[in-house]
Amino acid sequence: MDDIRVALWGLGAMGSGMARVLSHRKGIRLVGVVDSDPQKVGRSLRDVAGIEDSDLTVVASMDEVGEGAADVCIVATSSFVSDVKPQIEVVLELGMDCISIAEEMAYPSMADPKAASEINLLARKANKTVLGTGVNPGFILDTLVIALTGACIEVESIHARRVNDLSPFGPTVMKTQGVGTTPEEFAAGIEDGTIVGHVGFPESMAMIARALGWKLDGIEQDREPIVAAQERTGEHIRVPAGRVAGCNHRARGFIGDRKVITLEHPQQVQPSAADVDTGDFIEIRGEPGISMEIKPEIPGGLGTIAVTVNSIPGVVAASSGLVTMADLPVPRNLAGDAREILKVLRDPGSPGAWEAD
Ligand code: NAD
């Protein structure tokens, strides 16, 4: 069986990390890398992403990668359906499956039902699969929650929390979280949409509901400033006392007036300064009740790179159309040969499949 051929569209922090992983994964071959940044186009992948033994050059458009040149293309360019839909369309036209890490693509009908339906129809027509994934949304506050409900006889309600440290992140994230603003500026930023907190709660909620067969009647969200009592320092920012160190974003999903899903994502610079322990926490109330703690939290960058790369065989094996993480097999690490993993996912009961064991 040939290697699974992968193209990467978007060579930023996430795309470059994926390129490094993909370059050394057995049974996978990175065949093309695309970015629109003139500082990257025309340079070798070795230069741009530090991959010593790569002979790939960054190109400006997927057309230069070529029709049918890859089995799957990972799109790591933006957070929003409106930005990535045209890119997904190009990928499908070129005859490739598509994995997007845009937060809204984890469940795109929440942001844009028409776009989701169009992507689905296009993917069906092309006989290809489109998946949105990442660490959050895509794994911690949805896929992991769904997997745990599999050990419950009854689920009354779900409460999941991701408490993380914003210290390593750059200016874009600080801006969208309102870090460094006064509480008044934070309130104004929420009002005018320049401060958004986490992108992905409606997507995670919809994914959980779809998986459990729940119909949510409503979703409420609120965002509160986390104000520093004393100075906080991140890698790229200093937050004086009295200024906003982060955003506590919460969401609640209802069936009738019953609150069935609560998701929380307090993100702040240097949480240790306020004696806050970071971690991922899932509480399921039901029979049996389940309580899970991961301390510290699964790191956002490495987690996203891993979940995305590890989803490749599941996407290649899937039939066609727009799918969510809840519709694919449990994500697993590609420790062995990815082609062997793909073979099992494609046809676990194929004649002779068990004979070698
Ligand atoms: P980044 O800003 O470091 O990189 C984005 C790259 O895409 C840049 O190199 C940019 O030049 C390139 N790009 C943008 N538009 C392009 C276009 N039209 N054509 C070609 N190249 C284009 O961002 P990142 O940290 O790598 O993250 C990428 C996106 O994924 C962000 O929107 C981020 O919010 C999202 N993300 C989602 C998750 C998740 O859990 N779902 C996790 C991490 C990142």
pLDDT of residue 350: 84
Quick one: 323 and 221 in the same domain? no
Q: Rounded mean pLDDT of 134-144?
A: 98
Q: Residue whose CA is closest, atom 41 of ligand 1? A: 134
Separation between Cα atoms, residue 311 and residue 325, nearest integer Å: 9
Quick one: 190 and 307 in the same domain? no
For 231-262, what is each residue's pLDDT tens digit?
Answer: 999 888 999 999 999 999 999 999 999 999 99
Range of the domain at 219: 143-297
pLDDT of residue 354: 80
Quick check: CB of 11 below 6 Å from ligand 1? yes
Pocket test for ligand 1, best of 77, 82, 83, 100 (most atoms within 8 A of CB): 77
pLDDT of residue 351: 78
Q: Is 88 within 8 Å of 104 (Cβ atoms)?
A: no
Task: Please report whether residue 259 resides in a domain.
Answer: yes
CATH of the domain at 64: 3.40.50.720
> What is residue 100's three-state secondary structure?
strand
Q: Is pLDDT above 70 for 357?
A: no
Q: Which of the four pLDDT bands, split at 50, 70 and 90, describes residue 217?
A: very high
Task: Please report whether residue 23 resides in a domain.
Answer: yes
The total number of structural domains in the chain stands at 2
pLDDT of residue 116: 98
Quick check: CB of 36 below 6 Å from ligand 1? yes
Quick check: CB of 135 below 6 Å from ligand 1? yes
pLDDT of residue 1: 83
Task: Please report whether residue 92 resides in a domain.
Answer: yes
Task: Please report whether residue 354 resides in a domain.
Answer: no
Q: Is 201 within 8 Å of 194 (Cβ atoms)?
A: no
Q: Rounded mean pLDDT of 91-113?
A: 98
Quick one: 222 and 326 in the same domain? no
Report CA(90)–ligand 1 centroid distance (Å): 17
φ and ψ of 215, to 5 deg = -115, 110
Using the 3D structure, point to which of 282, 297, 312 is the last residue of a domain. 297
Can you tell me which atom of ligand 1 is nearest the CA of 87?
Answer: 18
- Candidates 316, 321, 320; CA nearest to 120 is 321
